[in-house]
C-alpha cells in the first residue's frame, strides 16, 4: 500500500503527471492550532480528562486500601470473612475497570466529548480545504501533519495560510508558521488529531498495584 501511494506521488510530481494534475499540501496541525475555537475546545477537553482521571484515581486508591487491609488482617480472619473481603476487592476491581471503560474506552465519554467539542472545528477546516481544492482545481491535497508519505513539500505548494484566511483568521496570529529548511520544505510531523494527544494517556498508569 505504501509503495502504491509513493508511486502515485511520483507520477503526480513527474512532468507528464504535472501537466494533467495540480496538487498542494496543508499542515492541519498548524491550521488548527491557529484557530482560537480549537484551542478553547482543547482546554475544555483537558479539564474533563483531568476530572475523570481524578475520579479513577480515587477508586484506585480505595481498591489499594482494601488490598492493603486484607493483607494485614488475612491471617487473623476466619474463612467466611476472608471470602467476604476478597469479594469486596473483586467488586472494587470490576468497578474500576467499568469506570475506565466508560470514561476512556472506545465510544466512551472521551470520544463523545472530543466529537462534541473539537470535531466541529475540524470539520470547518476540512470543508475549507475542500473548497480551496475545488476552486483551484487541485487533484491532490496532502496533509503534512498526518501523512508519513509526504517526504518533501516546497513552500509554494503549502496552502495552510490560504485555509486560515478562508476561515477568517490571520496566519501566524496564534501559532508560529511551520519551520522550513533551506529549500523551503518541511518534514512531516505527527498528527495532532490522533497521536500524541495528552488526553489519550492511560488514566491508570500510576494506579496502586
| pLDDT tens per residue across span 158-171 | 777 878 888 888 77
**What pLDDT sits at residue 139?**
78
Q: How confident is the model at residue 107 (pLDDT cuts 50, 70, 90)?
A: very high
C-alpha cell at 76: 487473623
Rounded to whole angstroms, the Cα distance separating 84 from 15 reads: 77
- 51-74 confidence digits (pLDDT tens): 999 999 999 999 999 999 999 988
Residue 112 maps to a domain? yes
CATH of the domain at 163: 3.30.910
Domain count for the chain, please give it.
Answer: 2
* Cβ neighbours around 124 below 10 Å, total: 19
Residue 101 maps to a domain? yes
* pLDDT for 43 beyond 50: yes
Do 140 and 43 meet the contact criterion of CB atoms below 8 Å apart?
Answer: no
Same domain membership, residue 112 and residue 124: no
Same domain membership, residue 188 and residue 151: yes
Same domain membership, residue 49 and residue 29: no
C-alpha cell at 136: 483551484
Cβ-in-10-Å burial (0-12, 13-18, 19+) of 64 comes to: middle
Out of 58, 81, 116, a domain closes at 116
**What pLDDT sits at residue 23?**
81
C-alpha cell at 52: 475523570
Q: How confident is the model at residue 131 (pLDDT cuts 50, 70, 90)?
A: confident
Counting every residue written for the chain, the total comes to 209
Rounded to whole angstroms, the Cα distance separating 30 from 183 reads: 19
Same domain membership, residue 123 and residue 186: yes
- Quote the domain boundaries for residue 51: 39-116
Q: How confident is the model at residue 111 (pLDDT cuts 50, 70, 90)?
A: very high
Same domain membership, residue 123 and residue 33: yes
Q: How confident is the model at residue 206 (pLDDT cuts 50, 70, 90)?
A: very low
Q: State the SS3 of the chain.
A: CHHHHHHHHHHHHCHHHHHHCEEEEECHHHHHHCCHHHHHHHHHHHHHHHHHHHHHHHHHHHHHHHHHHHHHHHHHCCHHHHHHHHHHHHHHHHHHHHHHHHHHCCCCHHHHHHHHHCHHHHHHHHHHHHHHHHHCCEEEEEECCCCCCCCCCCHHHECHHHHHHHHCCCCCCCCCCCCCCCCCCCCCCCCCCCCCCHHHCCCCCCCCC
Amino acid at each position: 500500500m505504501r509503495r502504491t501511494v509513493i508511486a502515485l506521488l511520483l507520477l503526480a510530481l513527474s512532468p507528464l503527471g504535472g501537466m494533467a494534475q495540480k496538487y498542494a499540501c496543508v499542515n492541519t496541525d498548524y491550521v488548527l492550532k491557529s484557530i482560537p475555537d480549537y484551542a478553547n475546545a482543547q482546554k475544555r477537553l483537558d479539564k474533563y480528562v483531568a476530572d475523570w482521571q481524578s475520579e479513577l484515581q480515587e477508586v484506585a486508591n480505595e481498591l489499594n486500601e482494601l488490598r492493603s487491609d486484607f493483607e494485614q488482617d488475612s491471617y487473623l480472619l476466619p474463612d467466611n470473612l476472608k471470602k467476604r473481603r476478597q469479594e469486596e476487592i473483586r467488586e472494587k476491581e470490576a468497578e474500576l475497570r467499568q469506570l475506565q471503560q466508560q470514561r476512556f474506552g472506545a465510544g466512551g465519554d472521551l470520544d463523545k466529548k472530543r466529537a462534541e467539542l473539537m470535531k466541529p472545528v475540524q470539520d470547518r477546516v476540512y470543508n475549507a480545504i475542500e473548497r480551496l481544492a475545488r476552486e483551484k482545481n487541485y487533484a491532490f491535497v496532502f496533509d503534512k501533519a498526518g501523512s508519513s508519505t509526504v517526504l518533501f513539500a516546497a513552500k509554494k505548494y503549502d496552502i495552510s495560510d490560504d485555509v486560515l484566511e478562508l476561515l477568517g483568521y490571520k496566519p501566524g496570529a496564534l501559532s508560529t508558521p511551520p519551520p522550513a529548511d533551506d529549500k523551503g520544505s518541511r518534514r512531516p510531523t505527527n498528527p495532532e488529531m490522533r497521536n500524541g494527544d495528552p488526553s489519550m494517556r492511560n488514566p491508570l498508569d500510576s494506579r496502586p498495584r
